[in-house]
Amino acid sequence: MTLEDGRQIQDSRSLESNVGDTVQCNQCQNYTLVLDVLSSEYVCSTCGCVSSEKIYNNELTNFEKGEYKDKSRIGMPESLTVSHKGLSTLIGLNDTDGRGKMLDPIQKETIQRLRTWNNRSQLNDSISRNLDKALKYLNNFGDKLYLSPPVMEKISIPKTISDIAYVCNIPSKEIMSHYKLILKELSLKIPVIQGIDYVTLISNRLKLTEKTKREALRIFSLVQHSRISIGKNPRAFAGAIIYIASQDCNEFLRQVEVCQVADISTVSLRKRCKEIKTILDNQQ
């Protein structure tokens, strides 16, 4: 490890410790925030809540070996969910100078004209204006679906058409038609959603305890190699596992509750439960 490598790590740790002592978690009110260097976000180590505080520190940018001398000074990392990838210059609304003094009326008028032309220059064509409006809608819908920007960019979390239609206030048929159009025009290949993703999703919606969630994941790991999930509805498969896990952990759920959350019928739930119990009995 070189001297600059050690300084990079030392600066990151010192900044993390200083911030953890001063910034408070909005959820549990504890001073136990941990810095995620890649996304520049603070995560509470107690409850896992992502803080709204952002870090603007150019020393935390990761570089390959030999690139530490040419450090980037762009501040926050660029994001595809922001117009111009977040690299555009914005003129603030505070009509003050560098010393904090209010500007005189003539200077205020000049700054306002600069602010107006700055906004016009960034959105000088219809494509840029439509893209800016679409990204604002995207971020708004992501907030309503409880998805942070790093999640929207990289992590695949299953969301049903009904959830998106409810948030966007758009009919499901219209969303489905545009969804198919985007897949066709962009030649996208959407990966198949695994049952384990639905296990976590349905468990969170039912507000189950962590003990029941771990039991459901354990049952899923036992039966995933039995090939009974091939050709089956993954939501029904996950719902049956959660129903069995809740019974094992004395957290009794009604079949109707699981079916409503998983959007399946009670007949499918009972069939999948019967198949899973048969496999568990054979393994014992």
Domains of the chain listed by start with CATH number: 3-77 (no CATH), 195-283 (1.10.472.10)
What pLDDT is stored for residue 76 in this prediction? 59
Contact 51, 23 (CB under 8 A): yes
Average pLDDT of the chain, as a whole number: 75
Q: Minimal CA–CA distance to 83: which of 20, 145, 127? A: 127
- 36 vs 140, higher pLDDT: 140
Whether the per-residue pLDDT at 37 is higher than 70: the answer is no
Instruction: Name the helix (H) or strand (E) containing 172.
Output: helix 172-186
Q: Minimal CA–CA distance to 151: which of 34, 46, 50? A: 50
- 82 vs 274, higher pLDDT: 274
Helix 234-248 with 210-223: angle, nearest 10 deg:
120
**Confidence label for 283 from pLDDT (cuts 50, 70 and 90):** confident
Percentage of the chain modeled with pLDDT above 70: 72
Give whole-number Cα distances, 248 to 120, 136, 206, 242, in Å: 62, 45, 16, 10
Q: Mean per-residue pLDDT for 64-84?
A: 57
Question: For 83-102, b where at least 16 C-beta lie within 10 A, e where not — what string?
Answer: beeeeeeeeeeebeeeeeee
Report the alpha-carbon distance of residue 41 to residue 51 in Å, rounded: 7
Report the alpha-carbon distance of residue 222 to residue 219 in Å, rounded: 5
Q: Using a cut of 0.75, tell me whether the model's pTM lies above it.
A: no
Report the alpha-carbon distance of residue 245 to residue 215 in Å, rounded: 6
Q: How far is C-alpha 251 from the geometric centre of its chain's CA atoms? A: 29
Report the alpha-carbon distance of residue 185 to residue 266 in Å, rounded: 38
Report the alpha-carbon distance of residue 98 to residue 270 in Å, rounded: 69
DSSP state of 59: G
> Which strand ranges, in their side-by-side order, compose the sheet holding 41-44?
33-36, 41-44, 50-54
